[in-house]
Amino acid sequence: MALNLDVIGKKMDPVAFRYDEDRVILYALGIGAGVHELDFVYEKNLKVFPTFAVVPLISVLMPFISAARINLYALLHGEQKIVLHKPIPTSGTIYTTAVCESIFDKGDKGAVVNVGLDTRDDAGELIFENKTVLVDRSAGNFGGDHGPKGQKLDPPVGVSPNFRVEQAIPHNQAALYRLSGDKNPLHIDPAFAVKGGFDRPILHGLCSFGYAGRAILASACQGDPARLKSFAVRFMNVVYPGDTLITEGWKLDSGDYVVCTSKRDGKIVLGNALAVMNE
């Protein structure tokens, strides 16, 4: 079934997402936080990881994926960006509105779907934004605009990183992370994973995103969520539970960081990554 190009430019109705402190803590555990990051896993003086901004996405993106007729078996998460406008509340009801900004035809590589999402509080104030890039590997060659060439952002050659963080991924991490709302069977069901072209269930890309966000927060933000303005990545390789992630950051003259997350075998997992700091 062909993509529904009529979704381009159409704003979806706001979707409410109600959560409490337990949901915030469960997410923190889902991205590997423990008692050494007490303010993120204990309701006393609770803080919210900035990457929690991706949690409401599932309830919004699944109806969009259906409306756009994206093939779930051929779906890849291409890129993700969060932009924080104010600290994320530890509980409450927030409202997310999505709009399909563009769909580009990448030929045999598939179709690239760009979705922008704004999340606001009860007063209508903007809390954070998400920019999500989805790739339907089965939907290319539909005769559409090829779109711009993606910008490349690499770490500086021959320069040691300002920080380096190793994080071992427990074998049950995908089973834990899915409780934050992303229950795609690709991450838990071996038979479904094989249908998707993988040997076994893979870790959620947004779980890897959260692990990298934790590394940045600890190493570049002194544990203060308010220090991070935005974080953008390109998903480049899959991660399996049991792998070890290595996140490195190079500080720019602006005070921002070029970031790269790889596995022990050297394969880059999150590339083209930039963490922008608040002044």
pLDDT bracket for residue 140 (50, 70, 90)? confident
Q: What is the pLDDT of residue 145?
A: 84
Q: What is the pLDDT of residue 1?
A: 66
Q: What is the pLDDT of residue 63?
A: 92
| pTM (global) more than 0.85 | yes
pLDDT averaged over every residue in the chain = 95
Tens of pLDDT, residues 197-229: 899 999 999 999 999 999 999 999 999 999 999
d(CA 81, CA 259): 13
User: How far, rounded to the nearest angstrom, does the alpha carbon of residue 83 sit from its chain's CA centroid?
Assistant: 12
pLDDT bracket for residue 279 (50, 70, 90)? confident
CATH superfamily of 5-140+150-277: Hotdog Thioesterase (3.10.129.10)
Least confident of 61-75, 198-212, 265-279: 61-75
The residues spanned by each domain of the chain are 5-140+150-277
Known catalytic residues? 182, 187, 202, 205
The winner for highest mean pLDDT among 55-59, 105-109, 228-232 is 228-232
Q: What is the pLDDT of residue 144?
A: 85
